[in-house]
Amino acid sequence: MKIYNTLSKQKEEFVPLEEGKVKMYVCGPTVYNLIHIGNARPMIVFDTVRRYMEYKGLEVNYVSNFTDVDDKIIKKAQEEGVESEVISERYIAECKKDMEGLNVRPATTHPKATREIDGMLDMISDLIDKGHAYGAADGTVYFRTRSFRGYGKLSHKNLDDLRGGNRSLLVSGEDQKEDPLDFVLWKPRKAGEPAWHSPWCDGRPGWHIECSVMSKRYLGDEIDIHAGGEDLVFPHHENEIAQSEAANGKPFARYWMHNAFLNIDNKKMSKSAGNFFTVRDISEKYDLQVLRFFMLSAHYRSPLNFSAELMEAASNGLERILTAAEKLRELQEKAKADDLTQQERHQLQEAATYMKKYEAAMEDDFNTADAIAAMFEFVKFTNIHANESSSHEYLTALRKQLQTMADICGLILEKKEELLDARIEQLIAERQAARKEKNFARADEIRNELLSQGILLEDTREGVKWKRA
């Protein structure tokens, strides 16, 4: 199994620290709003990496955090007049709903930054004791970037070049820093912000220290894989390496994996450009399995362009696979003969070649695009070589192989049963009753349940109208 390592800028044979086990950390979202489709790409990609490793018999300890203290969370809380925790807990719950819709498995552990403050205080104290960090007069603690000789090895940046020619990469607050490139480990509280007591001041952690500490606690000083979007390479992951290796005295992560950006109609996604889509937005038009299939139709290190045309193509492609799976199921239920014929034995040998192609693609830096191409070849094979005269054992083997390919990619082969009109009307009535009782949580739950079934609701003066997406 080969993985492209951002650290070495080349594909390397994957050898875990401990035979048969994988320690993997994936940077999760900052929870101040619904996740957008850019957030969804690493979730889907690295969930698929995990699934393939588990298919190969590896035990994966998969940790993905929630950043639940951040300027954006605090700003949202102040706008709504609530505590920051209200915002973060709300959007953690919403994120988990979207992950379920995308068929992203829950991590082994989903740590929250606010629950790991003690560990952050310990690591910061350790860095100060070792001369890698220092406190400023106002209580801010900075990491002494030049004290770590390997700084820049992940992003392949030179410290002097950063300082001299790229001011936009420098962190603010230079007046009290020893060096403009030093970054914050701990910052003093501002009015209305959540804060924790520390030896330096009442305040909160910097973003970078959070992941270093959560990774250390749940996976240990040295891990196999650290992953995330390519936007995190610098400064976030670079700073994680500096902190972790300076504190622990060991290499932090052996393999660094980064997915490329997602563009919308060949443009960068942004709210100001009006091309910003949440996963929930997409769920109103498509089954989220289509979004997952679309994401996996390109190699994770290739930039991916999102458009209505490409989503339609993904929908059609997924439908081909689902239709083939349904055909195999129906043939299997009706099969009269039990045992394999000699011809079927030969055909199963041919079928196995498609699984080998699929695996070869996944072994080559998780090339899901080529793996899906192998799936399509196999689907074509089943459409030609499976029929009413096929034996039950033969059809079972074909169906199992297609199921295995789908499971690794996180694709659900069973078509969703459509809700009957009467059941839809019943749920709408229940939602209206919940709203009258001011039970808005239940009302939202019903709306989301209908959305997941492709039912769109519109509140009008004449009452609630609905339609199928």
pLDDT value of residue 420? 64
- Does residue 397 share a domain with residue 343? yes
- Answer whether residue 302 is part of any domain: no
- Answer whether residue 372 is part of any domain: yes
- Answer whether residue 198 is part of any domain: no
Q: Which residue has the tokens 């080529």?
A: 370
pLDDT value of residue 37? 95
User: CA triplet 180, 183, 185: central angle to 5 degrees?
Assistant: 150
- Answer whether residue 114 is part of any domain: no
pLDDT value of residue 166? 45
Q: How many domains does the chain have?
A: 2
- Does residue 459 share a domain with residue 403? no
Portion of the chain with pLDDT greater than 70, in percent: 96
Q: Which residues are CB-contacts of 418 (< 8 A; sequence separation ≥ 6)?
A: 453, 454, 468
- Answer whether residue 15 is part of any domain: no
Which residue, among 257, 292, 264, has the nearest Cα to 41 in the 3D structure? Answer: 292
Domain, as residue range, for 355:
316-409
Which residue, among 255, 246, 196, 245, has the nearest Cα to 223 in the 3D structure? Answer: 255
- Does residue 321 share a domain with residue 394? yes
The 10s digit of each residue's pLDDT in 108-139 is 999 999 999 999 999 999 999 999 999 999 99
- Answer whether residue 230 is part of any domain: no
Residues of the chain with pLDDT under 70: 163-174, 415-420, 469
pLDDT value of residue 450? 85
- Does residue 374 share a domain with residue 395? yes
pTM of the model: 0.87
- Does residue 386 share a domain with residue 354? yes
Whole-number Å distance between alpha carbons of 176 and 198: 20
Tokens of 123: 């690591």
Contact 187, 203 (CB under 8 A): yes
Task: Give 132-135 contacts, CB < 8 A, sequence gap 24+.
Answer: 132/243, 132/246, 132/247, 133/185, 134/178, 135/200
Which CATH number belongs to the domain containing residue 394 in this structure?
Answer: 1.20.120
**Could you count the other beta carbons within 10 Å of the beta carbon of residue 109?**
15
The 10s digit of each residue's pLDDT in 236-273 is 999 999 999 999 999 999 999 999 999 998 888 877 77
